[in-house]
Structure formats: C-alpha cells, structure tokens
Amino acid sequence: MIEGAVAYPRRFASLVKVEHTLFALPFAYVGALLAVDGVPRARDLLWITAAMVGARSLAMGLNRLIDAGFDAANPRTAGRELPSGLLRSWQVGLFCIGSLGLFLLAAFMLDPLVRWLWPIPVLAFVVYPYLKRFTWLCHAWLGAIDGLAPVGAWVAIRGDLPWQAWALGGAVAVWVAGFDLFYSLLDVEVDRRLRLHSWATRFGERAVFGAARILHAATVGLLCVAGLGLPVGLLYWVGVGVVAVLLVYEHAIVRPGDLRRLDAAFFTTNGVIALAFLAFVLGDALA
C-alpha cells in the first residue's frame, strides 16, 4: 500500500515529464508580468499556475494515450509508462479527466473571457498527436500550443488580447517549434519505418538545422517587437540579449552529423532560456 502510494505519483510525474514544465510555465509568468507592468496578484498567479499544470498534464496524458502503440514500437520510448505496463490506459484516462477538471476550475476562477476560450487549447491538445500521422507541420502546431501560455496568462489577468501579447506568444511558438525540430532527430529512422511525419523525415537533417536557425532568430525578433510595444526597462532588453546568446550556444553545440550533445541543447539550454528570461522580466517589473 505504502509502496504504491509512492510509486504511482512518480509514474504520473514521469508520464507528463514534469521537468519539461520549465519550458512553458516561466513564459506564462512572463505574460502575466508584462500584462500588468508589475507583479500580478498572488491569487491570479495561483490560478494561472493551476491552469498551466492542468493543461499540460492533460496534453501529455492524451499524447501518451494516443501514441501508446507508436511508443511501444520505438526502442527509445518503449520503456515509457504505458508501453511498459507501469500504468494502464484507464488510469491515464482518469488522470486526463482529473487534469481537465483542474484546468476548467482554474479557467473559471480567472477573467470571464477565459471561460469562453478554454475549448481552444483542449481541442489543440487532442489534435496534436494525430498530426505526425499526416504532416511534417506537427512541429508548428506544438509551437502554437506552447505559444498560448503567455497569451493565456495575459488574457487571464487583463481580459484583452493586444498585439503585444500575440507577439510574445509568437516568440514562444517559434522557439518551441525550433527546438522540437532538434528533438525530431532522435527518431528519424523509427519515424520513417512507422511512416510518421516530421521535418527531419521529409527534408533531412541539414534542413532541420536551417529551419531551427530561422525560427530561433524569429524568437529574438518577436521578443524585440513585443518589448517595443510595452513599457519595459533595461532588464527586459538584457533578458532578450541573454536569450539570443543562449540560442547561439544551443546551435553551436549541435551540428549536422554530430548529435552527441543534443540532450544538452534540448533540455538544459532551453530550460535555462525560460528561467533566465523570467528572472530578467521579474527584475524589470520590480525595478
């Protein structure tokens, strides 16, 4: 009994890759900070956090359920909770229902406009796992989903959607799409065997690096565009500079034909990017 009480939370945490929350959640806080040009109320931050946890858990749970068969056929992912039998499909289904409930509760505790917009991300979560069966544009869809984080946090506090919020969301979208292109390199041969689509399977490894460079340059550009339309201070611009330097570093440590440091580029560097930018935006808000 005690062993199960400890094991199952760990399994669900592994299922949703809790550590990957570092990618989107900091940018939700960035959206909230920039929306009010200061520090939002603790109540709003609490419910934004709950909404992000519920939404991301739902998205990952659905992804694992829908892709369980493909995960079992891929040596890299065969050890995941569903293919390995550590969790059952019905358990993950209940987890998804609970995650949806948390997301809806949080949505209804925030600005009334959010109560009308919540179906959009839920529909996007359901569609995403199927896209790789049909199109290499799946990376763009994933980016758009994560780009909703700062946009959603903005509207949750202010109840409006100005172009600055969309520019910030666009920056996150192209950033995520860019590093997801790198991630697709881990499964190129398996994806081809399973007839799954990605930018890598369609255009090749070198095209992945070229597209990622363009997308990450657009990330910096859109952060600049957003900053020009907001009353930000010096620390915001220092944060943009840090993001640019880290993206250059990310592209420097992974090259076509040399993917030995792909994990460092994908996980470590992008986590640092999100946290560093949040730290500078928070510092700017407190200045």
Q: Report pLDDT digits (tens) over 42-98.
A: 999 999 999 999 999 999 999 999 999 999 999 999 999 999 999 999 999 999 999
Tens digits of residue pLDDT in 196-245 = 999 999 999 899 999 999 999 999 999 999 999 999 999 999 999 999 99
User: For residue 263, what pLDDT band results from cuts at 50, 70 and 90?
Assistant: confident
User: Is the pLDDT assigned to residue 3 strictly greater than 60?
Assistant: no
User: For residue 5, what pLDDT band results from cuts at 50, 70 and 90?
Assistant: low
Task: Using a cut of 0.85, tell me whether the model's pTM lies above it.
Answer: yes
- CA-CA distance, 12 to 92, in Å (whole number)? 8
What percent of the chain is modeled with pLDDT above 70?
97
pLDDT of residue 153: 95
pLDDT of residue 9: 85
Return the SS3 of 255.
Answer: strand
| Contact indicator for 118, 107 with CB cutoff of 8 Å | yes
Highest CATH level, class, for 2-286: mainly alpha
User: For residue 168, what pLDDT band results from cuts at 50, 70 and 90?
Assistant: very high
pLDDT of residue 228: 97
pLDDT of residue 6: 67
User: Is the pLDDT assigned to residue 1 strictly greater than 70?
Assistant: no
Provide the 10 A C-beta neighbour count for residue 1.
Answer: 4
User: Is the pLDDT assigned to residue 268 strictly greater than 90?
Assistant: no
What DSSP designation does 80 have? S
pLDDT of residue 257: 75
Cross-strand partners of 258: 255
pLDDT of residue 264: 67
What does the mean pLDDT of the chain come to?
91
pLDDT of residue 269: 86
4 compared with 184, residue with greater pLDDT? 184
- CA-CA distance, 275 to 214, in Å (whole number)? 22
Q: How many CA atoms lie within 13 A of 270 on its CB side?
A: 27
Tokens coding 197? 């689509």
Q: Stretch 12-30: mean pLDDT, rounded?
A: 84
| Contact indicator for 88, 16 with CB cutoff of 8 Å | no
pLDDT of residue 199: 93
